[in-house]
Amino acid sequence: MTPYLTSLRAIVLREALRFVHQRERFIAALVRPLVWLLVFAAGFRAALGISIIPPYQTYITYETYIVPGLCGMILLFNGMQSSLSLVYDREMGSMKLLLTSPLPRWWLLLCKLLGSTAISILQAYAFLAIAAGFGVVAPPWGYLAVLPALTLAGVMLGALGLLLSSFIKQLENFAGVMNFVIFPMFFLSSALYPLWKMAESSELLYTICAVNPFTHAVELIRFALYGEVNLPALGWTLLAAAIFSACAIWGYDPARGQIGRRR
């Protein structure tokens, strides 16, 4: 095996092991979207009529509408969580271990990113399975078609987390950043309501939602779940993933980046 694959396997395995050791994290990551699906959606379905919009071909329940958004939420929270663990790793020193490996730094960061994305995807599938158990189902082939969409969206959001972690200097600053990132990203997107509803109430909010990369990640997942490709969403998600990754690698560059500027 080449050194590249060896390190990739080890880093992904370590992320997985760490995840297995934190069973609470897995449960918490599942409970959050399930509360939205089973409680919030139940209360909201009467208030919010969903008309027939692509990719749906019939009227759908609100629960069906928000499942892709909640998959996105899992990926978003996980991306931020792994970013948190990176900041923690850096304070604890194990990030140093990674960064002093003779392999190129961009590769090590990419491995880290793929490791956390793999875990996000596992969680998203666990959520989809539970949602199906409650009767919120997609077409069978959709569950396979959604895999590349989840992967790309997970990489994009993971790269955002990586980027943030390179600029957050201390663990204590983390909560604030999260509130500034997670909540606006989630609520200013098509995860909970179709964008045309947003357009009815405010053109400005609609515009913000439309440029939010999270919206495109959710739409990518939504269409993939019904076996369709949403090309604009794919393009925007790819672009965002590329930009976030490039900035994160720049942020971790020892000559220019922030990693050393702690003291």
Partner 1 sequence: MSGLAIANLSYSYGAKTALEDVSLAVAPGRFCALLGPNGAGKSTLFNLLTRLFVAPRGRIEIAGFDLAGQPRQALAHLGIVFQQTTLDLDLTVRQNLAYFAALHGLSGKLAATRIDTALDRLDMLERAGEKARTLNGGHRRRAEIARALLHAPSVLLLDEPTVGLDAAARQAITAHVHDLAQEGISVLWATHLTDEVRADDQLVVLHRARVLAQGTAAAIAGDLPLADRFLSMTGHEAA
6 is a site residue for partner 1 (CB under 8 A): yes
Among 17, 31, 144, 242, contact with partner 1 (rule: CB under 8 A): 17
Please report, for residues 62, 199, 228, 260, 262, the alpha-carbon distance to residue 253 in angstroms, rounded to integers and kept in the order given. 45, 41, 39, 10, 14
98 is a site residue for partner 1 (CB under 8 A): yes
Number of residues counted as binding partner 1 (CB under 8 A): 32
99 is a site residue for partner 1 (CB under 8 A): yes
Q: Which of 30, 75, 31, 67 is nearest to 50 (CA)?
A: 67
Q: How far apart are CA 62 and CA 41, in angstroms?
A: 6
**Window of 42-50, 77-85, 90-98, 144-152 that interacts with partner 1 by CB under 8 A:** 90-98
Please report, for residues 115, 124, 142, the alpha-carbon distance to residue 25 in angstroms, rounded to integers and kept in the order given. 16, 14, 27
170 is a site residue for partner 1 (CB under 8 A): no
23 is a site residue for partner 1 (CB under 8 A): no
* Residue 57 beta carbon to partner 1: minimum distance, rounded to whole angstroms: 48
255 is a site residue for partner 1 (CB under 8 A): yes
263 is a site residue for partner 1 (CB under 8 A): yes
* Residue 248 beta carbon to partner 1: minimum distance, rounded to whole angstroms: 17
182 is a site residue for partner 1 (CB under 8 A): no
Phi/psi-derived region of residue 21, left when phi > 0, alpha when psi is between -120 and 50, beta in every other case: alpha
Q: Write down how long the chain is.
A: 263
Q: Element (H or E) spanning 139, and its range?
A: none
Peptide bond into 68 cis (omega under 30): no
Among 104, 194, 232, 235, contact with partner 1 (rule: CB under 8 A): 104
Q: How far apart are CA 80 and CA 180, in angstroms?
A: 12
**Window of 24-32, 89-97, 115-123, 153-161 that interacts with partner 1 by CB under 8 A:** 89-97
Query: Rule CB under 8 A: which residues touch partner 1?
Result: 1-4, 6-7, 9-11, 14, 17-18, 21, 92-94, 96-104, 108, 254-255, 259-261, 263
